[in-house]
Amino acid sequence: MAICALIVDDSSVMRKIVERSLRQAGLDLTKVFEAGNGAEALVVLQTNPVDLILCDINMPVMDGLEFIKQLPGVANAKGVPVVMITTEGSESHVVEALSHGARGYIRKPFTPEQVKEHVVPVLEGKS
């Protein structure tokens, strides 16, 4: 499955870990865009269509919840699945993220297998 992904996290190390986990999950990443917060991610999406967005919640400038609230207004994000990846374990954050269209939720720390379990069904339209 060849896909183009956008990884949003304020930690550059975590963005690399997420990318590696996606590759270990067997995804054929043709292009990976990175953004350090929601505002940067919206700028990336203005000119770059993607197939999958993985997004942290706690970030400076614009957090992940605000970012997914703004996604419906972005043409390149229409129908693109969003999976949240975060240390935040709050049930209210999970509910809020899902209510705004997130299709999955992965808690840090995670294994590549957990990333695969959450991301592959979303890409195959099973979740």
Question: Contact residues for another protein (CB under 8 A)?
Answer: 10-14, 16-17, 20, 58, 60, 86-92, 107-111
Is the previous residue joined to 109 through a cis bond, with omega within 30 degrees of 0?
yes
Cα torsion through 3, 126, 70, 62, rounded to 10? -70
Instruction: Dig out the tokens for 87 from the structure.
Output: 């240390």
Taking the least distance from each CB to another protein, the nearer of 53 and 85 is: 85
Q: CB of residue 88 vs another protein: minimum separation in angstroms? A: 7
Q: CB of residue 73 vs another protein: minimum separation in angstroms? A: 27
Taking the least distance from each CB to another protein, the nearer of 45 and 59 is: 59
Q: Return d(Cα 76, Cα 126) in angstroms, integer.
A: 22
Q: Return d(Cα 45, Cα 50) in angstroms, integer.
A: 8
Q: CB of residue 61 vs another protein: minimum separation in angstroms? A: 11
Taking the least distance from each CB to another protein, the nearer of 16 and 69 is: 16
At residue 47, φ and ψ (nearest 5 deg) are: -120, 0
Taking the least distance from each CB to another protein, the nearer of 25 and 77 is: 25
Q: CB of residue 58 vs another protein: minimum separation in angstroms? A: 7
- Backbone Cα Rg of the chain: 13
